Amino acid sequence: MKPPVKIKSPFILSLLLISFLFSCSQPRQGNILLTDGWKFQPGDNPSFSSPLFNDSSWEDISPLDLWDAQGHADLDGYAWYRIHVNIPSSLKTHAYFKDSLIIFLGKIDDRDQTWLNGKPLGQNGKTVSAGTKFPDDIPNGGETWAVSRKYMLAADDLRINWDGENVIAIRVFDRGGLGGMYGPAPYISMRDVGDYVTFNLRKEPFMISRQVNYKKIIVLNNASTKDDFDGVLSVEVINQENDRVIFSETTTTHLKAGKALRHSISFINVDTANCLLQCSFKPEKSKNIITANVGAPYILTPPPPASPRINGPRVYGTRPGHPFLYRIPVTGERPVSIDVKGLPEGLKIDDNTGIITGKILRKGDYPVRITARNAAGTDTATLLIRAGNTLALTPPMGWNSWNVWGLSVDADKVKAAADAFLSTGLADHGWSYINIDDGWEAPHRTPDGAITGNEKFPDFKDLSGYVHSKGLKLGIYSSPGPYTCGGYLGSYQHEFQDAKTWAGWGIDYIKYDWCSYGKIAKDNSLEELQKPYLLMRKALDTVNRDIVYSLCQYGMGHVWEWGATVGGNLWRTTGDITDTWNSMSGIGFRQNTASPYASPGHWNDPDMLVVGWVGWGPHIRPTRLTPDEQYTHISLWSLLSAPLLIGCDLTRMDDFTMSLLTNDEVLAVDQDPLGKQADKVYVKGNIQYWTKPLADGSWAAGIFNLGEGKEKINVMFSDLKLKGNSYEVRDLWRQKNLGTFHKGMELKIPSHGVVLLKITRGV
């Protein structure tokens, strides 16, 4: 269905920035690079398109960076770029195709008209004929800022001045925000195989089984409608730590016009290290080699033992008198029997499922002794059930529909996610919330003002019954404004009614997203920022249900300083995350400001996880984060005591993604009952140390390498701000003791990677 109103979401804005940061690619060999010599002039004048115009007084500018980064931060509207370039006919001599010239101008934010020697060449990335009359205003045509400007002309086109000076003039219109030309580097070349043939190494993820057997399908597309290409396809997998070649293969290949070649490789990799898959296609009769590479995942998490292991938090908050639901997460070979001692009055457990239900009548702390048994052994643990005022005594762990399905979420997808929590075993590691984000709301309220689900969500009671029957919880989403960020109905002026409706449906978690409330708020004062959140808090307090309250307003007014006082259990500290290194690391490594404000029941939320298959809509793809970036993501979020909300398709889990989300020692850092958030205690160049005190008196420490190359470093305990001399150190991803160390230790950290440690005072 079409949402009634479209509100520009912070998600779109962050994508805009990210695509700018990530759009660098290699220019082609042996061509004319157009990185230098550009002239720039704000304003607009038709004479600027003429080759005769004298632009020598214009300022110099780089086409690789937006104009905002080059002294024009406040420039919106029109501006012009010009360059003078000689195009030698020798370009044609070695060309694969001698019939056409390419003029590639990178990307332009956000619209353009381009002239070659005074004649129209292209508009917003579409080549036009020489006789075209450009409209006065450059047409918008959608997301024109993201489109590559690649113009193709017949070699005998009269607009080209072979062996002489050519003037390219670009009229740019920026409607607001960032503007101008930006990478990849512009160039001029003859048409080549590389204009049609590209690798897609992300289409099919690596499949790993038993930690060492790797399989991957390499996809090589030929977008030409006419030409087949022959060439040599080479594939290598190289251990980045010691340069060992793990796999190498060369094959001659025939690429059919308009077809994608799918080439399967499989190999054994026992290195458990950062490895790179490098691919190249060398076309016959062309100098240009088409290359691409992608990191190969490696699994550090050992498989859980056959004997039972009780996972999940060691403390759990509820409010007396409210329905109680908790599924004890236990791994180990089935059948496992679960026995509990000390359950407070009003609660009961189902021994087969380990699901505790009921209602606690009185406030109090109830330590519950859990014993899990199977044929291979026994495990025991104490869970403190705290019946009081505070929920989410450890950060919520679950799934949210947004990063994968965006507005295309529906009830079946939500049920499938709940099923997958059990079938994959994720629930046995403590994952429990199934949260519906935007896109569930009907376009109109009922005559009595009640909100209902749209046709994708016909029956919320049925849905919550389904989710609860598995011992899982159900979350929902709304906005304090009249509309959500996706343009669906919000809760404005219906707050109490909506809270009651959700409670009636059996909702356990509400994400409350500012969005269109911006139009209601009088100003940006703290009072106005807090008002809608206080109101929904009041409304939630009137219902007879434990509903975790998640504030989402992107960090406005330093929400971490007051999120707890308006009754939030968690609050987003940033704009929307996306699956790139710049987005994830930019958000994660900035969280230290908010660190002092995290405590049990009150969490900073740096946004949801971007591992696995994501997509923000119906078309999903494997995350663009490299394997080491994914280790960094999960390690950092655990150190930050961040809510962990998986944002991928749970029905499409590969072993690597599962290994990231089921390492109980890593998850225990996030769920530690002390509830402190890690601090950034040391920064040197690209190296950062983050440490977090744990309830048992030990420390979790993340040693991160944000740089582009691997690093070997001597980590001194004093730099970790630890006072002792001698510490026992455990590698949490490998779940392996590294030994006792004095003063410090040497560690190797891959690019964009991490070593996550537990450090305990030596005896």
Q: Would you tell me which residues interact with ligand GLA (CB under 6 A)? A: 9-11, 402, 437-438, 484-486, 513, 552, 576
For ligand GLA, the closer CB: 366 or 603? 603
| Side chain identity, residue 733 | W
- The tokens describing 363, both together, are 């406030």
Let me know: does 262 contact 219? Beta carbons within 8 Å.
yes
Q: For residues 717 and 726, give the distance between their C-alpha atoms in angstroms, rounded to a whole number.
A: 8
Q: Considering the complex, what minimum distance in angstroms separates the CB of residue 515 from ligand GLA? A: 6
Roughly how many angstroms between the first and final C-alpha of the chain, as a whole number?
Answer: 64
- Which runs of E-coded beta strand occur in 142-274? 148-154, 165-174, 180-182, 187-190, 197-200, 207-209, 213-222, 229-239, 245-255, 260-268
- Nearest in space to 207 (alpha carbons), one of 266, 248, 261, 260: 266
Q: Considering the complex, what minimum distance in angstroms separates the CB of residue 552 from ligand GLA? A: 5
Instruction: Choose the catalytic residue: 109, 195, 508, 513.
Output: 513
For residue 142, count other CB atoms closer than 10 A to its CB. Answer: 10
Q: For residues 295 and 246, give the distance between their C-alpha atoms in angstroms, rounded to a whole number.
A: 13
Q: Considering the complex, what minimum distance in angstroms separates the CB of residue 99 from ligand GLA? A: 47
For ligand GLA, the closer CB: 4 or 739? 4
For ligand GLA, the closer CB: 75 or 552? 552
**What is residue 272's DSSP assignment?**
-
- Which runs of E-coded beta strand occur in 525-655? 548-552, 570-572, 603-605, 613-614, 621-622, 644-646
Q: For residues 341 and 327, give the distance between their C-alpha atoms in angstroms, rounded to a whole number.
A: 15
- Nearest in space to 571 (alpha carbons), one of 590, 587, 594: 594
Active site residue 65: no
For ligand GLA, the closer CB: 474 or 485? 485
DSSP string, 694-743: -TTS-EEEEEEE-SSS-EEEEEETTTTT---SEEEEEETTTTEEEEEEES
Which own/partner contact pairs does 442-449 have at CB distance under 8 Å and 24+ positions apart? 442/489, 443/1, 443/4, 443/488, 443/489, 444/489, 445/489, 445/494, 449/494, 449/497
Q: For residues 656 and 270, give the distance between their C-alpha atoms in angstroms, rounded to a whole number.
A: 15
Place of tokens 């499922």: 353
Q: Considering the complex, what minimum distance in angstroms separates the CB of residue 486 from ligand GLA? A: 4
Q: For residues 736 and 394, give the distance between their C-alpha atoms in angstroms, rounded to a whole number.
A: 25
Q: Considering the complex, what minimum distance in angstroms separates the CB of residue 478 from ligand GLA? A: 10
For ligand GLA, the closer CB: 112 or 607? 607
For ligand GLA, the closer CB: 224 or 401? 401
> SS3 letters for 542-579?
CCCCCCEEEEECCCCCCHHHCCCCCCCCEEECCCCCCC
- The tokens describing 442, both together, are 């009907």
Q: Name residues whose C-beta falls within 8 Å of residue 311's C-beta, 6 or more positions apart in sequence.
A: 329, 330, 331, 428, 429, 430, 664, 667
Q: Considering the complex, what minimum distance in angstroms separates the CB of residue 26 from ligand GLA? A: 33
For residue 679, count other CB atoms closer than 10 A to its CB. Answer: 18
For ligand GLA, the closer CB: 486 or 600? 486
For ligand GLA, the closer CB: 167 or 417? 417
For ligand GLA, the closer CB: 151 or 399? 399
Active site residue 350: no
**What is residue 669's DSSP assignment?**
H
Q: Bridge-partner residues for 41, per DSSP? A: 80
- The tokens describing 604, both together, are 């900073």
| Side chain identity, residue 336 | V
| Side chain identity, residue 207 | M
Max CA-CA distance within the chain? Answer: 91
Instruction: Choose the catalytic residue: 438, 498, 576, 649.
Output: 576
CA dist list (Å): 548 to 318, 390, 523, 602, 642: 10, 9, 28, 10, 15
- Nearest in space to 296 (alpha carbons), one of 323, 334, 270: 270
For ligand GLA, the closer CB: 201 or 608? 608
For residue 260, count other CB atoms closer than 10 A to its CB. Answer: 14
For ligand GLA, the closer CB: 486 or 601? 486
Q: Considering the complex, what minimum distance in angstroms separates the CB of residue 496 from ligand GLA? A: 23
For ligand GLA, the closer CB: 12 or 260? 12
- Which runs of E-coded beta strand occur in 34-146? 39-42, 59-60, 77-86, 100-109, 111-116, 119-123, 126-127
Let me know: does 257 contact 219? Beta carbons within 8 Å.
no
Q: For residues 196 and 150, give the distance between their C-alpha atoms in angstroms, rounded to a whole number.
A: 12
Q: Considering the complex, what minimum distance in angstroms separates the CB of residue 618 from ligand GLA? A: 15
Q: Considering the complex, what minimum distance in angstroms separates the CB of residue 435 from ligand GLA? A: 10
For ligand GLA, the closer CB: 482 or 707? 482
- E strand or H helix that includes residue 670: helix 664-670
Enumerate the active-site residues: 513, 576
